[in-house]
Amino acid sequence: MNELPHSPAAGCAHGAGTSTAFGLAGAGTLFRKEVLRFWKVAFQTVAAPVLTSVLYLLIFGQVLEDRVEVFPGVGYTSFLIPGLVMMSVLQNAFANSSSSLIQSKITGNLVFLLVTPLSHTAWYVAYVGAAVLRGLMVGIGVLLVTAWAAPMQVQQPQWIVVFVLLGAAILASLGLIAGLWAEKFDQMAAFQNFIVMPMTMLSGVFYSVQSLPPLWLAVSHLNPFFYMIDGFRRGFFGYSDVSPWLSLAVVGGCFLFVAALALELLRRGYKLRA
């Protein structure tokens, strides 16, 4: 049998390089692993959400196209498409980080990550980065297969980029928090079905909140998801229910809050390290 090509002193991974370089390489590996995880089941994680959005478009667009004009010169189907895109981005960003973490916790393979030198910041960047990427891939998929259904325009692309990235990062961070908190799949399902789903559906994806009665209009303005979708839609049509700067302030503030919370929970090892 051959001698193993290393010795404890010379071959150990700590023998060369800086902590920062190791940290970046480690975070990069975790990011790639998270991307590979959803990409290996892309039919379920990317194609299926795209199909769901197409069904929404076919049903709501068909029924309401001739009855509703939300913004001047913008048909209902055109109005609906950005909402569907953003809804898909948000839901899939949340689903990616939350499902990955809860699965690893419940099956026990999170131990392979817990014994590594990766910092809490590296965990955050990798999990959120991969979740944002999945959200963007689904969103682009929805846009590509729905854009044929109605005339689309891009008036202010900077808002599209800003709100899609911030919205995805917020939901990815929320998914991370939910994944840390939940100990069972039904707790995760409750978080998704009773918090994320209602806030997404009641955020103006399918309608302009200006068409709501005053009470529900006021309630909608308390929903941060409304600002994500309204700001995102602004990028397409140049119209929005509220100022994009107000939306940016709300969405940016939400991002800072959930990012800080997720980072603090990871730093403490909340429900990770006994």
Partner 1 sequence: MSTAIAVRFDDVAKTYRSAEGALRALDGVSFDIREGEFFGLLGPNGAGKTTLISVLAGLTRASSGRVSVHGHDVVSDYAAARRRLGIVPQELVFDPFFSVRETLRIQSGYFGVRGNEAWIDELLHELDLGDKADANMRQLSGGMKRRVLVAQALVHRPPVIVLDEPTAGVDVELRQTLWHFIARLNRQGHTVLLTTHYLEEAEALCARIAMLKLGRLVALDRTSALLSGAAGTVLAFKTDAALPPALAAAARVTGRIVQLRVQDAQGVEQTLAALRQAQVPVEDLEIRRPDLEDVFVHTMNQGLVEAASAATSAAGASS
Closest by CA position to 188, among listed 79, 50, 93, 94: 94
Does position 6 bind partner 1 by CB under 8 A?
yes
- Identify the residue among 114, 147, 201, 218 touching partner 1 (CB under 8 A): 114
115 sits near partner 1 (criterion: CB under 8 A): yes
Q: Which of 71, 104, 136, 156 binds partner 1 (CB under 8 A)?
A: 104
Is 128 within 8 Å of 172 (Cβ atoms)? yes
Is the Cβ–Cβ distance between 177 and 262 less than 8 Å?
Answer: yes
The contacts of residue 154 (CB under 8 Å, 6+ apart) are: 160, 235, 236
Shortest spacing between CB 131 and partner 1, in angstroms: 16
Pairing of strands 69-71, 74-75: antiparallel
Q: Is 36 in the site for partner 1 (CB under 8 A)?
A: yes
Q: Can residue 13 be called a binding residue for partner 1 (CB under 8 A)?
A: yes
- Does 43 sit near partner 1 (CB under 8 A)? no
Could you give the CA distance from residue 125 to residue 259 in angstroms, rounded to a whole number?
A: 10
Is the Cβ–Cβ distance between 262 and 272 less than 8 Å? no
- The CA distances from residue 188 to 18, 73, 181, in Å, are 38, 42, 8
Taking the least distance from each CB to partner 1, the nearer of 90 and 125 is 125
Which stretch in 80-88, 107-115, 215-223, 258-266 sits in contact with partner 1 by CB under 8 A? 107-115
The reply on whether position 52 binds partner 1 by CB under 8 A is no
* 5, 72, 213, 214: residue in contact with partner 1 (rule CB under 8 A): 5
Q: Work out the end-to-end distance of the chain between its first and last CA atoms, rounded to an integer number of angstroms.
A: 42
Distance of closest approach, residue 5 Cβ to partner 1, in angstroms: 6
Binding residues for partner 1, rule: CB under 8 A, are: 1, 3-9, 11-14, 17, 19, 21-26, 28-30, 32-33, 36-37, 40-41, 104, 107-109, 111-119, 269, 273-274
